[in-house]
Structure 1
Amino acid sequence: MVVTLDVDGAQASHFAVGTSPLAELMACLHTLAEPEHHPESRAWLARTREALPEPLVQELNRFAPLWARYRCRLFLPMRKPLDLELSAELDGLARLDADEFTRLAAFAIRGLTFPGADQLRDADVRRAFVKASERRSFSRGELARALVEDPDGFREHLADTLERCAAAFFDAEWRRIGPRLKDTAAPVREQLRKESALTVLTSVSPTATVTERPARVHYDKLQSATGKVAERGCFLVPTLHGWPHLILKTGDDGLPLVVHFIAGDWEQRPSARQSLIRDRLAAISEPGRFEMCRHLLGEPITTSELAQRTGISEPQVSRHLRRLREVGLITSRREGRMIYHRLHAQLLLSLGSDVLTTVMR
């Protein structure tokens, strides 16, 4: 499955690149709510949890459906300009049209967009929304009920919780990482002036692929969606705490598309595509190839020696080696008349983390 950005007719003016402290705060709250997604953040999680008073922890648990799985569109930029301070973004959240606020919050609580979210003033629609949320979990049901019974009170309570997060840990964190995110955004903004939208949108993710006609960029995700940049515009917002999740928002009518892309060193730890990971798992799951991998790990070995050790014919060994080579799990080098094969141990070692990262993104 893929999320596709249609860039036919898109110009540089259709894009905005910049930072969003509110979006980064959401990424932090996601990490707190789903720590198993972020093993690389253990030290940060430990420090931050120490700074959180217990009443605030309880409030974050209550509002967790807004950022745990489905990232609420309320916390991503909805209009220009970008690079605002958190206080300005929270002020914009407070002034947002009441029906739009309720609709976007409802999407996050349900965990998906759904028909009728713009009709939550209707009693029957409200009851159906609460019941559907309850089927997901008791906590979602309670949050859904709070939203429809008192939308203004819900918004005030949420804003107060976010302000308390800022005071407890995020203001200090933003002072540390905000300049780095601005340094990430600047070259992307410059790139948009000089290169095609296809090139820029591909450059922000190692999983992106391109079709030229029609001009589209496809991102390897666990859902399918499409958004047209020329019709709605597109915001490119870097994140550090969001790793490894590339967040794409395309389904919120009337709002710009958003690419919440990963800043930092993903170039040094590139993500493999789902298809390649499946191929690698399939390649080593075959018993004969799995047994061969044990011999290929210890030392470079020839086809004939491998056949002798495993009791498999040389033509069969050659076929197995070819398959392992196709998915990048072995390397082969020639020395005179002999070809030696060896398992790519680092790739095999990283396969587990690749699987986890792919499932999470």
Structure 2
Amino acid sequence: MVVTLDLAKARPADLVAGASPLAELMAGLHVLAEPEHHPESRAWLGRVRERMPDGLATDLAYHAPLWARFRCRLFYPFAGPLDRDLDGELDALSRLDEDTFVRYAAIAIRGTTFPVDGLLADPSGFLRACERRSYSRAELARALVTDPAAVRAGLVETLARCATSYFDAEWRMVGPRLRDVSARLRDATRGATVAATLASMSPTATTTDVPPRVHYDKLQSATGAVAAHGCLLVPTLRGWPHLIVKLDPDEPVVVHFLAGDWEQHRQVSQSLVRERIAALAEPARLDLCRHLLGEPITTSELAERTALGEPQVSRHIRRLREVGLVTSRREGRMVYHRLHARLLLDLGVDLLATVMR
């Protein structure tokens, strides 16, 4: 499964890169709402919670369906120029027409895309769907259909309190870094193809020339066209390993990508994760891993220890080597095999990152 961007007729000018404090604030709110998914942010979470005034945590929990799982489109720019300040973005959110606000708020609260036209006239199906998800979603959904203006005012006021309590100070540190990433990306775009620029958003992205497309490795399937309304590239330093791609009709594509060090947050493709799990599902291979862990060992020694024939051991070793879990080196006439213990240790993290990405 992949998210695909169709690049037919797309030009470098269709790509607009820039920082968004509102998107970065939302990324942090997602971490606050789903802390168990982000152990790397534990220290940051502690600092934020210490600075959070009374009542703000309750208000954030009330609005959390807007960012906990399905990131609401309202928190991303709808057009350039980017690199605005948070006050400007909150003002734009306050002035957004009500139909657009209700549309994207409802989609986020329900947690999936659905036909929103006529929602306020007949909200019964929407409310039932939200009630099946959770009480908190149902509560916010009822408020939205009853008084969308009040929901918007409460949301903007809550976001402004986040800015005052902790985010303004955080943005003074991370904002220059994100603006620098955006500036370097704009420079790179002028000398690169659209496909190369979009593929640089993720270490697991792939491209095709015919038809011209970029594919993002995610556990969902969706397709959007860049040339239709352009594409906004928004970097973030918060929320590894998420790569968010917004493909809303009549709006620019948004790619919210990790601007941090990929070497510190390694990602592998979902196909490789599946292959490694499948390789280890064979009991004989799992037993071989026990012997391969302690020291380099030959095929003949493995055969003697496991009561398998040497051809069988060779086949199992070859499969483990194909998925990177075993390394082999020759010394004279002997070939020694050893388990790549670090990759085995990382497999759980890789699986979680694949599910979350």
TM over 0.5: yes
Q: Do residues 302 (structure 1) and 301 (structure 2) align?
A: no
Contact 1:24/1:242 (CA < 8 Å) preserved in 2?
no
Q: 2:151 aligns with which of 147, 151, 154?
A: 154
Q: Which residue of 2 aligns with 1:227?
A: 224
What's the Cα RMSD here? 0.9
Deviation track 1:266-306 (CA, whole Å, cap 9, x = no partner) reads 13432111111111111112111111111111111111111
- Whole-angstrom distance in 1 between the partners of 2:10 and 2:56: 43
What is the DSSP-based 3-state SS (H/G/I as helix, E as strand, rest coil) of the residue aligned with 1:260? strand
- Whole-angstrom distance in 2 between the partners of 1:334 and 1:348: 23
Amino acid in the other structure paired with 2:86 = L
- Whole-angstrom distance in 1 between the partners of 2:45 and 2:176: 21
Q: Which residue of 1 aligns with 2:125?
A: 128
Aligned-pair CA distance for 1:359: 1.2
- Whole-angstrom distance in 2 between the partners of 1:110 and 1:54: 28
Scaled by the length of structure 2, the TM-score of the pair is 0.98
Aligned-pair CA distance for 1:263: 0.8
Matches within 5 A, 1:61-140: 61-115=61-115, 117-122=116-121, 124=122, 126-140=123-137
Q: Do residues 311 (structure 1) and 307 (structure 2) align?
A: yes
Q: 2:337 aligns with which of 337, 341, 346?
A: 341
Contact 1:10/1:229 (CA < 8 Å) preserved in 2?
yes
Q: Which residue of 2 aligns with 1:24?
A: 24
Q: Which residue of 2 aligns with 1:166?
A: 163
- Whole-angstrom distance in 2 between the partners of 1:64 and 1:89: 19
Which sections of structure 1, spanning at least 5 residues, go unmatched? none
Q: 2:241 aligns with which of 218, 240, 244?
A: 244
Q: 1:293 aligns with which of 289, 296, 300?
A: 289
Which sections of structure 2, spanning at least 5 residues, go unmatched? none
Aligned-pair CA distance for 1:37: 1.1
Contact 2:4/2:216 (CA < 8 Å) preserved in 1?
yes
What is the DSSP-based 3-state SS (H/G/I as helix, E as strand, rest coil) of the residue aligned with 1:118? coil
- Whole-angstrom distance in 2 between the partners of 1:216 and 1:54: 48
- Whole-angstrom distance in 2 between the partners of 1:71 and 1:275: 25
Amino acid in the other structure paired with 1:6 = D
Give % identity. 64
- Whole-angstrom distance in 2 between the partners of 1:128 and 1:347: 47
What is the DSSP-based 3-state SS (H/G/I as helix, E as strand, rest coil) of the residue aligned with 2:55? helix
Q: Which residue of 2 aligns with 1:324?
A: 320
Which range is displaced more, 281-290 or 92-101? 281-290
Aligned-pair CA distance for 1:161: 0.3
- Whole-angstrom distance in 2 between the partners of 1:39 and 1:118: 39
What is the DSSP-based 3-state SS (H/G/I as helix, E as strand, rest coil) of the residue aligned with 1:145? helix
Q: Which residue of 1 aligns with 2:355?
A: 359
1:43/1:268 CA distance change after superposition, 3 Å? closer
Amino acid in the other structure paired with 1:322 = R
Amino acid in the other structure paired with 1:208 = A
Contact 1:20/1:84 (CA < 8 Å) preserved in 2?
yes
Contact 1:16/1:234 (CA < 8 Å) preserved in 2?
yes
Q: Which residue of 1 aligns with 2:43?
A: 43
Q: Do residues 189 (structure 1) and 186 (structure 2) align?
A: yes
What is the DSSP-based 3-state SS (H/G/I as helix, E as strand, rest coil) of the residue aligned with 2:63? helix
Amino acid in the other structure paired with 1:61 = A
Aligned-pair CA distance for 1:242: 2.4
Q: Do residues 254 (structure 1) and 264 (structure 2) align?
A: no
- Whole-angstrom distance in 1 between the partners of 2:239 and 2:79: 21
- Whole-angstrom distance in 1 between the partners of 2:240 and 2:266: 12
Alignment size in residue pairs: 357
- Whole-angstrom distance in 2 between the partners of 1:293 and 1:222: 29
Aligned-pair CA distance for 1:121: 3.0
Amino acid in the other structure paired with 2:334 = M
Amino acid in the other structure paired with 1:299 = E
Deviation track 1:302-355 (CA, whole Å, cap 9, x = no partner) reads 111111111100000000001000100011111111111111111111111111
Aligned-pair CA distance for 1:20: 0.2
What is the DSSP-based 3-state SS (H/G/I as helix, E as strand, rest coil) of the residue aligned with 2:324? coil
- Whole-angstrom distance in 2 between the partners of 1:38 and 1:268: 14
Deviation track 1:135-193 (CA, whole Å, cap 9, x = no partner) reads 11111111011011111111101000000000011000100111111121122111110
Q: Do residues 177 (structure 1) and 174 (structure 2) align?
A: yes
Contact 2:240/2:265 (CA < 8 Å) preserved in 1?
no
